[in-house]
Amino acid sequence: MIRIAILLIALLSGGAASWLALGTADQPSAAVVEIEQPPREEVLVAAAELARGATLEEANLRWQPWEGDIPPVFISRSSRPDAIATLKGMLAQSGFVAGEPIRGDKLAERGSGFLSSLLPSGKRAIAVRVTAESTAGGFILPNDHVDVIHTATRPDSSGTEGKVVSRTILSNIRVLAVDQTVSQGADGTSVIGKTATLEADPKQIATIAAAEASGTVSLALRPLADNDEPSIPEAEESQRGVVRIVSGGTSTMVEVPARSDGT
């Protein structure tokens, strides 16, 4: 009796499984929809930090994925797949940080008026003769700021050569280039040349030219923290006066501006 009951249960279970299998076989299978992903765009970026005036090399550039719309000034891989090879040898008109997109309007070809593009409006460039000794031992680099020192021999009252006198004629002047190099050496070292190109105002150009014609010019390297100070020509400093103030038995020297009539 027990065997018959077990057999009936097994037959019922098999029938129910067959019925369920037939029922699900009649139902349509769910369609698999494949969504096509748009191709991921890439833009050209700086692989490492690029200083102003640096020459682009293939190792300095790489492609990087970009999400969203690409600004027209950026260089995309789809529009210029050979950009890394074609931009080799170009000069950076401004600095780039690592990962920053490369912009065509910040690049210039050699010999295409590159230095003039570095000059801000109202500024001029003038070259002065220098040596390693007159450029802080050759450690002055492009984009450093310097004071311009004029050294000359002043004749005495009899007209013969007198003592040698040095004075600062300009302060906080930016160095644009050393010889024809507008960036530091590839290994990060200084560039030692025979000329240094300085950025100056039109009035300061005449001061520098006169100093070179009447003596020698040296450059004193300034600390980076003082680069925001205004450039004060020596002519303005000569218009200041010094007054001695005596109070309580102590003497103090105070600078005062000259009067409008020049006295």
Between 17-31, 47-61, 159-173, the lowest mean confidence (pLDDT) is in 17-31
Instruction: Name the residue with tokens 């450059």.
Output: 219
b/e sequence 24-51, b meaning 16+ C-beta within 10 Å: eeeeeeeeeeeeeeeeebbbbbbbeebb
d(CA 27, CA 24): 5
pLDDT at 63 over 80: yes
The pLDDT assigned to 28 comes to 55
CB of 221 within 8 A of CB of 187? no
More confident residue, 126 or 238: 126
Q: How confident is the model at residue 252 (pLDDT cuts 50, 70, 90)?
A: very low
Element (H, E) at 57: none
d(CA 39, CA 163): 76
The pLDDT assigned to 258 comes to 45
Q: How confident is the model at residue 65 (pLDDT cuts 50, 70, 90)?
A: very high
pLDDT at 11 over 70: no
Using DSSP, state whether 10 is helix, strand or coil. helix
Cα dist from 81 to 38, 104, 126, whole Å: 18, 15, 40
Nearest to 123 by CA among 230, 199, 206: 199
**Per-residue pLDDT tens digits for 144-177:** 899 999 988 877 666 566 688 888 999 999 888 8
Using DSSP, state whether 214 is helix, strand or coil. helix
Using DSSP, state whether 174 is helix, strand or coil. strand
d(CA 177, CA 100): 25
pLDDT at 45 over 90: yes
Question: CA gyration radius for the chain?
Answer: 37
The pLDDT assigned to 244 comes to 43
The pLDDT assigned to 1 comes to 65
Span 15-38, mean pLDDT?
58
**Per-residue pLDDT tens digits for 214-243:** 888 888 888 888 777 766 655 444 444 444
